[in-house]
Amino acid sequence: MWDWAFTLEILPALARAAVITVEVTILGFLIALTLGLALAVCRIALPWTRLPISLLVELIRSTPLLIQIFFLYFVGPSFGLTLDAMTTGVLAVGVHYATYCSEVYRAGFESVPRGQWEASVALNLGRATTLRDVIIPQAIPPVVPALGNYLVALFKETPLLSAIAVLELMQTAKIIGSQTFRYTEPITLVGLFFLAMSLVSAWAIRRVEAGINRRYRR
Amino acid sequence: MGLRALAVLLTLTLATILYLSRLEDFRIFVPGLAQGALMTLRITAAAAVLAVLAAITAGLLKLYGPAPLRWLAVAYIEVFRGTSALVQLFWLYFVLPGFGITIEAYTAAVIGIGLNIGAYGAEVVRGAVVSVARGQWEATVALNMTRAQALRRIILPQAFAAMIPPWGNLLIELLKTTALVSMITLGDLAFRAQQMNQTTMKTAQIFTLVLLVYLAMSLTVTLGMRLLERRAARGILHARAA
SS (HEC) of A132-159: HHHHHHHHHHHHHHHHHHHHHHHHHHHH
Is the ipTM beyond the 0.90 threshold?
no
Contact B87 A159 (CB under 8 A): yes
- Residue A41 CB neighbour total at 10 angstroms: 20
Where does the pLDDT of residue B192 fall: very low under 50, low under 70, confident under 90, or very high at 90 and above? very high
- Nearest residue to A53 (alpha-carbon basis) of A67, A37, A65: A37
Residue B144 Cα to chain centre, angstroms: 37
Name residues whose C-beta falls within 8 Å of residue B198's C-beta, 6 or more positions apart in sequence: none
The architecture of the domain spanning B3-233 is Orthogonal Bundle (1.10)
Whether B242 has a pLDDT exceeding 50, the answer reads no
What percent of chain A lies above the pLDDT cut of 70? 99
Contact A191 B211 (CB under 8 A): no
Contact A67 B211 (CB under 8 A): yes
Residues of A in contact with B172 (CB under 8 A): 61-62
Region B62-82 average pLDDT: 93
pLDDT at B236: 66
Whether B185 has a pLDDT exceeding 80, the answer reads yes
Contact B9 A187 (CB under 8 A): no
Q: pLDDT for B152-180, tens place per residue? A: 899 988 888 889 889 999 999 999 999 99
Q: Which amino acid is at B240?
A: R
Mean pLDDT of chain A: 90
Name residues whose C-beta falls within 8 Å of residue B48's C-beta, 6 or more positions apart in sequence: B114, B117, B171, B174
Q: Considering only alpha carbons, which residue of chain B is nearest residue A3?
A: B98
Whether A77 has a pLDDT exceeding 90, the answer reads no
CA distance A161 to chain B (A): 11
Contact A170 B86 (CB under 8 A): yes
Residues A18 and A34: their CA atoms lie apart, in Å, by 24
Residues of B in contact with A68 (CB under 8 A): 211
Domain ranges of chain A: 4-216
- Nearest residue to B82 (alpha-carbon basis) of A203, A125, A11: A203
Contact B98 A190 (CB under 8 A): no
Whether B241 has a pLDDT exceeding 70, the answer reads no
Residues of A in contact with B7 (CB under 8 A): none
Please, what is the Cα angle at B130 between A151 and B236, to 5 degrees? 110
Where does the pLDDT of residue A217 fall: very low under 50, low under 70, confident under 90, or very high at 90 and above? low
- Residue A131 CB neighbour total at 10 angstroms: 19
Where does the pLDDT of residue B240 fall: very low under 50, low under 70, confident under 90, or very high at 90 and above? very low
Residues of B in contact with A78 (CB under 8 A): 203-204
DSSP string, B61-123: HHHHS-HHHHHHHHHHHHHHHHS-HHHHHHIIIIIGGGGT----HHHHHHHHHHHHHHHHHHH
Contact B214 A62 (CB under 8 A): yes
pLDDT at B101: 87
CA distances from B49 to A98, A203, B174, B196 (A): 30, 31, 11, 31
Q: At what angle do helices B67-82 and B105-130 cross, to 10 degrees?
A: 120
Any idea which of A193-197, B106-110, B227-231 has the lowest mean pLDDT?
Answer: B227-231
Q: Which amino acid is at A64?
A: P
- Chain B residues with CB under 8 Å of a chain A CB are 1, 9, 78-79, 81-88, 90-91, 94-95, 98-99, 172, 175-180, 182-183, 190, 193-194, 197, 203-204, 207-208, 210-211, 214-215, 218-219, 222
What percent of chain B lies above the pLDDT cut of 70? 97
Question: Would you call A166 helix, strand, or coil by DSSP?
Answer: coil
Which stretches of chain B are assigned E, i.e. beta strand?
A: none
Where does the pLDDT of residue B26 fall: very low under 50, low under 70, confident under 90, or very high at 90 and above? confident
CA distances from B107 to A43, A203, B118, B184 (A): 44, 34, 16, 11
Mutate to test the interface with A, among B8, B90, B175 (most CBs of A within 10 A): B90
Domain ranges of chain B: 3-233
Residues of A in contact with B96 (CB under 8 A): none
CA distances from B140 to B65, B151, B161, B176, B233 (A): 19, 9, 19, 41, 21
pLDDT at A218: 53
Where does the pLDDT of residue A5 fall: very low under 50, low under 70, confident under 90, or very high at 90 and above? confident
**DSSP tag of A181:** S
Where does the pLDDT of residue A206 fall: very low under 50, low under 70, confident under 90, or very high at 90 and above? confident
Residues A71 and A159: their CA atoms lie apart, in Å, by 17
Class of domain A4-216 as given by CATH? mainly alpha
pLDDT at B98: 81
Q: Considering only alpha carbons, which residue of chain A is nearest residue B201?
A: A74
What percent of chain B lies above the pLDDT cut of 90? 63
Name residues whose C-beta falls within 8 Å of residue A157's C-beta, 6 or more positions apart in sequence: A65, A93, A96, B84
Contact B83 A66 (CB under 8 A): no
Contact B172 A1 (CB under 8 A): no
Q: Note whether A153 and B120 are within 8 A (CB).
A: no
Q: Note whether B236 and B158 are within 8 A (CB).
A: yes
Q: pLDDT for A99-123, tens place per residue? A: 999 999 999 998 899 899 999 999 9
Residues B154 and B150: their CA atoms lie apart, in Å, by 5
Q: pLDDT for B31-60, tens place per residue? A: 889 999 999 999 999 999 999 999 999 999
Residues B24 and B33: their CA atoms lie apart, in Å, by 15
| Signed CA dihedral, A208, A212, A214, A215: sign only | positive
CA distance A129 to chain B (A): 30
CB pairs under 8 A between A and B: 112
**Radius of gyration (Cα) for chain A, nearest Å?**
21
Residues of A in contact with B197 (CB under 8 A): 70, 74
Residues A181 and A178: their CA atoms lie apart, in Å, by 5
Q: Note whether B56 and B125 are within 8 A (CB).
A: yes
